[in-house]
Structure 1
Amino acid sequence: MSATLNATKAAAALRTSARVSAELLLVLVMAAVAVWFLGRMWPIVWPLVVGLLLTTLTWPLTRFLRRHGWRPAPAAATVTVLFLLVVAGVVALIAVPVASQSGELAKGVGEGVQRLREWAAGPPLNIGDEQIAGAFDAGVARVQKSVGSMVTALVTGMSTVFSGVVTTVLALFLMFFFLKDGPKFLPWLTRQLPGRLATDVPVVAARCWETLGAFVRSQALVGLLDAVFIGLGLWILGVPLVLPLAVLTFVSAFVPIVGALFAGFVAVLIALVSNGPTDALLVLAIIIVVQQLEGNVFQPMIQSRGLGLHAAVILLAVTLGGSLAGVVGSLLAVPVAALIAVVWNYLREQLGEPPQEPEADHAPTGASVTS
């Protein structure tokens, strides 16, 4: 009798495991199909994502104008124009000082190359002019042999730049329409969905919007900290173009990995050609320390507080996103993880057991209740 009961329990457990495995497999297949469809629609999805991120950055000003009597269209147009002016001002803030000191920088680059050549000619390398000329000729020959691949890379780069320009223009137009008609979206979505979805989906969408805003604000704060600390170090060392380099550091903080490498390379190069190799090494050390503090202290702490995610989850999400989709994956890993957490928390709230109401005391009619 006991053996039969155990066999029945084992068979039931096996059927349950098989059903759960089949459901999990179906979920994974649907997720793979969704990822494939997302990849096919990426030329549309990417401008939409960028537009949403820009909208979260500019929505507070739009909301302020609308609360003070502005119509939606003029408020959205004003904020969009102001955003373009700020971006143009940032570009000018970087470009004008660089252009004004381009002569000095070019002279410094020439002197740096000459010092490097003199250092290479001395001990322990003892590289003469003939060896340098031979290496230069070998490099020219290699370049001539790889002209076809260089042309292909150039065409690919031009296509990438053109795609980036198109994406930027689409994102700006989408930002304008989101700022103009964004508050109408949730009521429209409520009218389109049936039953309980009309309540659940708008609530989740509103929470996701708040989470995206927290992500953009936290990323801006991290970039500001990077710009302040690195700019302070450059100012102490007497490196020129401190303000443009600080602005470049702040802007590049929104592009993970590549942005930090690019800003750091520019700062080290300017320190090398203006102050010499010693200060360049000190600038490199400052950038490495600040980047380590950002990646391991500032960013996880600030984003975990604003997004409701643990610092370890932030680090793992960035690592996974970078390994799956490169720079774009690193950029979107944290907000995607935060949105998944929002959906999961809402499902947990809805699927949790409702609190039991205390039983009412049924006192006889006419009885007095004393406290």
Structure 2
Amino acid sequence: MLLVLLMTWVALWILGRAWSVLWPLVIALLLTTLTWPLARFLRRHGWRPGLAASVVTVLFLLVGAGTVVGIAVPVAAQSGELVDGVVSGIQQLREWAAGPPLNIGDDQVSQAFDAAAAGIQNSVGSVINVTLTGVGTVVNGVVTTVLAIFLMFFFLKDGPRFLPWLTRQLPGRLAVDIPTVAARSWDTLGAFVRSQALVGLLDAVFIGLGLWIVGVPLVLPLAVLTFVSAFVPIVGALFAGFVAVLIAFVSNGPTDALIVLAIIIAVQQLEGNVFQPILQSRGLGLHAAVILLAVTLGSSMAGIVGSLLAVPVAALVAVAWNYVREQLSEPAREEDTGEKSPPQESPAAESPGAESPAAEPA
């Protein structure tokens, strides 16, 4: 037991030291599961692996750029109205604060602004440090994204050769066990990404419909932002909801902003407690309660990254456990019946790792 605990600690320490490399690798794997069906379709219709991977990567970049443009252009086109709405919203807040029960006068507001300005001036060093930290985070994010896209291209191009190569490198029974678990894990990651995309689509449709009924502007960009942010647990939903409520406040007033806030809370509760557990439990073979507990544990241990990776990690652990259980139960069945069970076909026949390199064009 002490040896197992020591090896676990060493493995976690190595993962922590190599996280700058592992994080782009994880993102690339998730992106590959999302784009692999199109690459597989092109390869099956005679496209060479490099050409298919290049086309899919370029299309992915175009979709990403189109999403950014689809959000930024309408916002820029209505920036004047948004600025006027912000000024009007601030004036409404001052008028509301001046009345009962707060009865805050203009002199008190001015004193509050002066105190805030003095506090900012006194903490210039802290502001600079926070700014530099934010800039460093943005730079690291850009580097991670670029590296993940390059890795995604190579996974799309050479992914089917990985499992045959891994089979040749491993000795004995490991040459069968590990590639089988890897193929099943690939299918599980694909199910996770597809279920997450479906959950994000449901969020975008319901929230966008609510914004359209209330009469909030920029419905389409807000719906697209909701769909994209659904892939980032907790923070993504909070950010998209904050933007929607802010735009509703500055354009339609506080009443519509409260209505939009109620719609977003209702949809998020429905998504977090109904849609996401049900869809992910069906796609990943995990009970909804297990998914909720995994997300809670992951977020408490590693924050946003932990909540993002909690469900796929739990699903991969379940895949490995199910395979071990199958292998341990096979000898008992053979002893009881006196017959050898037929070999099981891997369910990952459609995954990148399941294609034979001999079937690929040279």
TM-score, scaled relative to structure 2: 0.92
Report the equivalent of 1:14.
none
Picking from 187, 190, 197, the partner of 2:164 is 187
1:80 aligned partner: 57
Deviation of the 1:356 alpha carbon: 4.1
What is the CA deviation profile of residues 255-300 of structure 1, one whole-angstrom value per residue up to 9, with x for unaligned ones?
Answer: 0000000000000000001111111001000100111111111100
Q: Does residue 354 of the first structure (1) align with residue 313 of the second (2)? A: no
Task: Report the AA paired with residue 262 of structure 2.
Answer: A
Structure 2 residue aligned with 1:301: 278
Q: Does 1:242 align with 2:219?
A: yes
> What's the counterpart of residue 148 of structure 1?
125
Is 1:230 aligned with 2:210? no
The offset of 1:359, in angstroms, is 6.5
Counterpart among 246, 267, 276 of residue 269 in structure 1 = 246
Distance, in Å, in 2 between the alignment partners of 1:289 and 1:131 is 37
1:117 to 79, 86, 94: 94
Backbone CA RMSD of aligned residues? 1.1
The separation in 2 between residues aligned to 1:358 and 1:165, in whole angstroms, is 59
1:354 to partner: Cα distance:
3.0
Aligned to 2:314: 337
Q: Alpha-carbon deviation of 1:26?
A: 2.4
Q: Does 1:171 align with 2:159?
A: no
Query: Runs of 5+ in structure 2 lacking a partner?
Result: 340-362
Per-residue deviation, 1:42: 0.3
2:344 alignment counterpart: none
Task: Please identify runs of 4+ aligned residues in structure 1 that moved more than 6 A.
Answer: none
Corresponding position of 1:253:
230
Identity %: 78
Q: Which moved more, 1:251-260 or 1:31-40?
A: 31-40
User: What letter matches 2:163 in structure 1?
Assistant: L
After superposition, the Cα gap between the structure-2 partners of 1:289 and 1:359, relative to the gap in structure 1 and judged at 3 Å, is: closer
Cα distance in 2 for partners of 1:171, 1:355 equals 46
User: Which residue is 2:342 aligned to?
Assistant: none
* Residue aligning to 2:346: none
- Equivalent residues in 2 for 1:83-102 (5 A)? 83-102=60-79
CA distance in 1, matches of 2:95, 2:116: 20
Which of 46, 69, 75 matches 1:69? Answer: 46
Distance in 1 separating the partners of 2:259 and 2:102: 24
Report what 1:161 is aligned to: 138
Deviation at 1:358, TM superposition (A): 4.5
Larger radius of gyration: 1
In structure 2, C-alpha distance between the alignment counterparts of 1:218 and 1:123, rounded to whole Å: 49
Looking at structure 1, the residues matched to 100 and 216 of structure 2 have their Cα atoms a distance apart, in angstroms, of 30
**Could you tell me how far apart the structure 2 residues matched to 1:300 and 1:217 are?**
13
**Which amino acid in structure 2 is aligned with residue 314 of structure 1?**
I
Q: Which moved more, 1:285-294 or 1:349-358?
A: 349-358
1:169 maps to a residue whose letter is V
User: Post-superposition shift, 1:357?
Assistant: 6.2
CA distance in 2, matches of 1:348, 1:124: 65
Question: How far off is 1:355 after superposition?
Answer: 3.4
- 1:48 aligned residue: 25
Task: Give CA-to-partner distance per residue, 1:65-116, whole Å, 9 cap, x none.
Answer: 0000000000000000000000011111101100000000000000000111
Q: Equivalents in 2 of 1:49, 1:128: separation in Å?
A: 54
Match of 1:326? 303
Provide the TM-score with structure 1 as the length reference.
Answer: 0.89
Secondary structure of the structure 2 residue equivalent to 1:39: helix
